[in-house]
Structure 1
């Protein structure tokens, strides 16, 4: 394979990766904790977009439990976003896409 062909393939892969990144920004995942008492919505990059709390989770005497549930839900949303990113990159770019997905 000549250098020019390799460069064209690299540019093609770069364009596809950029397209996937744009799509991921429009996708969303929902992380949850406490059996759905706390839900965090994030985009495909793991950026938090929204928080939903069920009323029964609100207890002024136990704010630490609520803080823990929020943290767990955020971590769940971020993991789901990471998995989505890897899946989308791999689908578009094959083996190298999985590697790129881990980077974002």
Structure 2
């Protein structure tokens, strides 16, 4: 393979990766647990944008509240992480590119 073609391919991959990362940062991921008593929304930059707790959960005590929040956070982080990994893997054809994730 010619070196120029390889460089062009690498530049295209870099641009595609940057575009995909930018698109992922705009996405929103939501997790709801306990029948909707706790709901959390995370953006693609892995920042919590919204946390909603229904009044009825506050009556169940501190431990239940902590447990529900933890479950919601873990669920939404898993969603965002899996989406990012799938998007990046499709661009890199499954290659493990160091520093990508």
The TM-score bracket by the shorter chain reads: 0.7 to 0.9
CA-atom RMSD in angstroms: 2.1
With structure 1 as the length reference, what TM-score do the two structures score? 0.81
Q: Give 5+ residue unaligned stretches, structure 2.
A: none
Structure 1 match to 2:7: 7
Partners of 2:44 and 2:7 in 1: how far apart?
29
| Segments ≥4 residues shifted beyond 4 Å | none
Cross-structure match for 1:82: 81
For 1:23-34, list aligned pairs within 5 A. 23-34=23-34
Is it true that 1:22 corresponds to 2:22 in the alignment?
yes
What are the Cα deviations for residues 25-60 of structure 1, in whole angstroms up to 9, with x where unaligned? 11101022222211110012322111011121112x
Query: What aligned pairs does 1:33-72 form with structure 2 within 5 A after superposition?
Result: 33-59=33-59, 62-72=61-71
- Structure 2 Cα separation of the partners of residues 28 and 87 of structure 1: 16
Indicate the SS of the match to 1:95: coil
Please report how far the alpha carbon of residue 95 of structure 1 lies from its aligned counterpart in structure 2 after TM superposition. Answer: 2.8
Partners of 1:45 and 1:88 lie apart in 2 by: 14
Structure with greater proportional helix content:
1
Work out the number of aligned pairs and report it: 100
Query: Structure 1 unaligned runs (5+)?
Result: none
**Equivalent residues of 1:31, 1:73 under 8 A apart:** yes
- Superposition TM-score, scaled by structure 2 size: 0.83
